[in-house]
Structure 1
């Protein structure tokens, strides 16, 4: 494909994605594990959603929150990975301006929606362990519905200015994005306008949303641990911690991968430019694949529900 030059000043209505500028020769080999991870993530989340929908015993607030997490993972995967594979397999590098900014919005908003969902799930575990007698009156179906509205509204509205600010920039320095996806950093650096407001807003709002969620998660588990240490009785502590195990593992993966991604982006001058690009793609694959598998393996009710689903097929 012939790409427009970086010095082009003519108006255009599409960007061109250049995945891994330094290592384009091995993109076809990389597409195989990525496609397998994509199928695993989609299949695992779809199985979990169908299991929760069909199994009456799983119609509980915690599993509704897990369904929300699976829906977010599915949308994130479908937003990013098919386009990446299209670039690898068919050299379809062009992406329209609206599609690029829509992808940017979904990536930013759904990432913070996942973080917020983890925070609400941590609160659910806090109530279950620290206030077990009040659990059924606090964590209700209405609570989950209000929580889902809060997750979507808070993160959708606060991250919406990021693609809006990017879309208002003048792209007179070319339209070649040195990335596989339309991240705000990769796109805005092509503008010849001042991008300080754009970058500051993303940094502040991303740090505030993700940071506040993490603080509340840590506080929830602090009180959970404090309560568990007071529990007396053989096996009681292990049982209490077991109800939080799956959730804690997922939060650990989420924060670790996110931290590595942030560090590699900040250390761009030291780390080869293709490393952050690859980590960004894997971030949209590994966590969506892990979330349903961890819960499916560690939660007896979900494991039983999947077995019942397989018997019906």
Structure 2
């Protein structure tokens, strides 16, 4: 199944699952505010967002094309990079078009089912991106700490299984989100103070019991973010230990430069995500526009930066 057809297939499957469910509750349309408190300057905010989205599209399509057409790049590092590029395309395209429509042409309304599908894609593919970042950290660890056994450990079969595990984890963990939301009752409060449909932002609008939704959302966040950040931290701790043993300051500086840029991109992905997660639950004093801006950029900045950091800075792809 091609990259283009997979999201379409997933959308149709999710629509059928939602429409065939036994819960026939009223389906309100939601109103996306955009950036709360900055309504007068939202068209200016849309400009950098549009540039980031364009960079994400061009950069990730280029990365996929180069890796697909060059057999010499069919190696673990580049295969994981192609997975990351494909996920980034879906993640950015799930967020940016509607957010830009809200900010530029005031297309604030979004249908109930469309909102749930957007929410599912955003959270599922964020989980998949986190999983691929763990796989890339593992690849760097094996390449630096066990270079002689790299091809034996990360052979094509293992890479395929890792990719499938990342995909299945994202789908299985996040499919309950829209299904559980279908059980909620929404009264008159259907205004979402956000630029896109986000799980907790939708849950807060319900006038029925939301304990299960909140508990499951917290569990998924702790499982994905907690385990993945721990795995990446352990991998880079071993990498740092190995780099410090490399003879020659020039080689060490080169390794530090490469790993440092990777760590910066990883932090750009995780830190705003963790901030958004904590703000929904504990950050009542955080201005809404700060929360929404960071939550939106967290879905657009990594897809725009990843092709530059992982692609352009890699000699083989640059050539």
Do they fold alike, i.e. is TM over 0.5? Answer: yes
User: What range is the shorter-chain TM-score in?
Assistant: 0.7 to 0.9
**Equivalent position of 2:14 in the other structure:** none
Aligned-residue offset at 1:263? 4.6
Superimposed CA distance per residue, residues 258-286 of structure 1 (whole angstroms, 9 cap, x where no aligned partner)? 34434544554212112211111111111
What is aligned with 1:3?
none
* Contact 2:273 2:295 (C-alpha < 8 Å) held by counterparts: no
Residue pair 2:28, 2:190 contacting (<8 A) in 1 also: no
> Which structure's relative contact order is higher, taking Cα pairs within 8 Å and 6+ residues apart?
1
Aligned: 1:28 with 2:43: yes
Equivalence for 2:144: 129
User: Partner of 1:57 in structure 2?
Assistant: 72
**Cα distance in 1, alignment partners of residues 240 and 293 from structure 2:** 36
2:224 counterpart of 1:209: yes
Greater mean alpha carbon deviation, residues 230-239 or residues 198-207: 230-239
TM-score of the two chains, using structure 2 as the length reference: 0.86
For residue 308 of structure 1, what is the aligned residue in structure 2? Answer: none
The CA deviation at 1:257 is 2.9
Give the corresponding residue for 1:113: 128
Cα contact 2:184–2:206 (8 A) shared by 1: yes
Q: Give the Å deviation of 1:129.
A: 1.2
* Residues 28, 186 of structure 2: 8 Å contact kept: no
Which moved further from structure 2: 206-215 or 217-226? 217-226
Instruction: Give unmatched runs, 5+ long, in structure 1.
Output: 1-9, 305-313
The structural deviation recorded for 1:297 is 3.4
Aligned to 2:263: 248
CA contact (8 A) 2:133 2:266 kept: yes
Moved more, 171-180 or 279-288: 171-180
CA deviations on 1:153-204 (whole Å, 9 max, x unpaired) are 0121012212211121011233222221111111111111111110111111
Deviation at 1:105, TM superposition (A): 1.0
The equivalent residue for 2:89 is 74
List runs of 5+ in structure 2 lacking aligned partners: 1-24
Determine if contact 2:311/2:317 at 8 Å carries over to the other structure.
yes
Q: Partner residue of 2:246?
A: 231
Asked which structure has the greater CA Rg, the reply is: 1
Is 1:99–2:114 an aligned residue pair? yes
Q: Distance in 2 between matches of 1:181 and 1:71?
A: 21
SS in 1 for 2:217: helix
Conserved 8 A contact 1:105-1:162: yes
Question: Distance in 2 between the 1:17 and 1:32 partners?
Answer: 19
Counterparts in 2 of 1:1-313, with a 5 A limit?
11-232=26-247, 235-238=250-253, 240-241=255-256, 244-266=259-281, 268-304=283-319
TM-score (norm 1): 0.87
Partner residue in 1 for 2:16: none
Instruction: Judge conservation of contact 1:69–1:114 (CA < 8 Å) in 2.
Output: yes
Residues 11-32 of structure 1 show CA distances to partners (whole Å, capped at 9, x for unaligned) of: 4442221223422121122222
For 1:13 and 1:125, locate their aligned partners in 2 and report how far apart those are by CA, in whole Å: 47
Distance 1:39 1:239 in 2: 30
CA distance in 1, matches of 2:155, 2:97: 37
